[in-house]
Amino acid sequence: MKNRRCPRCHTHYAAPARYCPSDGTPLVEVEPSAGQSDSAGAGGNRREPAGPGAAGLTGQIVDGRYRVSRRLGEGGMAYVYLAEDLETREQVAVKILTPRLSRDPSSMERLRREASIAMRLDHPNVCRILRIGETTDKLTYLVMPYLPGDPLSEVEQRQGPFPLAEGVAILVQMCRGLQHAHALNIVHRDLKPENVMLVPDQTAPFTRRAVVMDFGLAKERRAGPELAKLTQTGIVLGTPEFMSPEQIRGKPLDGRSDVYAVAVLAFEMFTGKLPFEGRNPQEAMLARLKAQPLKLRTVREDLPPRLEAVIARALSVLPEDRFASMMDLGAAFESIAGGGMFARLFGR
């Protein structure tokens, strides 16, 4: 079931609401996040387990190894639980496909593809998959490290637009994680605030580590015809307000599509608004094909011109006019803060 989010105040509302009652902004539809979050978000209601199976595993032991303590979240195709790994004694997140979708071969293939892709990822700024398995009730599950943080969307909602230094630090970390994925020929395809977790950094007090979540829509650049048929086109999969123009058109994607999505996300982080306006998601999508984005400093004039220029370039309609890689985008963000760590990390 989809809900709707105000791109200005980030509050979530259930259909049939169309406009934010606080500021009148048209709402955009988003899939409920299956990320690791203990809260339902403002304007939303926590749904308790509805019975046995994927939705009612609290207190049970999954596959003889994972003792489930509570449900963390629910997405379009899975429930996510906090559990203890009885072998390692570590806390993990267990993502279980819903019974309805477990009967759908394409959904099963998509989940297994998500696991096979994410198992190859190994970076502190992406969420990796530890294991894929099947319960005695024939429910497929994924095991991931438990991340005790908050989705970026909820942090935006609580604190409003980010200060420059904090926002740039989060964006640089995202670029690092996505560069790692792109080096493995993996494109995320569904970057949005709900898919970025901010985790307290134990090595640096009062700072947060950004972790890119949910590579369920990820697509390898050298995908075969079976995978292409499975994922269909970007106009079907993805979150409308963060799609690149080529994804809207259903064109082949590469890492520059994620560059575009990070720029949309960055604009929203710093201003609380989206760079393209429309009365509904369809109008906002068309605006990306025909209109120019809002200028960052017309919304928030205290931000530096350099940041406006970086985001504007990353929002170019043509992929070849954007930054060529996440490495380049991350270095551009870091240059705003006067640092060179990102460039040195990749040998520049």
Residues tagged active-site: 190
Report which of 69, 74, 66, 67 is spatially closest to residue 44, judged by C-alpha positions. Answer: 74
SS3 163: coil
Which residues are bridge partners to 26 per DSSP? 19
Across the strands, what pairs with 198?
Answer: 150, 210
Residue 331: closest CA among 314, 348, 317:
348
Cross-strand bridge partners of residue 58: none
Residue 206 class from Cβ within 10 Å (0-12 exposed, 13-18 middle, 19+ buried)?
Answer: exposed
CA atoms within 13 A on the CB side of 251: 14
The DSSP secondary-structure symbol of 19 reads B
Q: Which residues contact 20 (CB under 8 A, 6 or more apart)?
A: 6, 8, 9, 11, 13, 26, 27
Distance CA 334, CA 338 (A): 6
Contact 77, 140 (CB under 8 A): no
DSSP conformational letter for 216: G
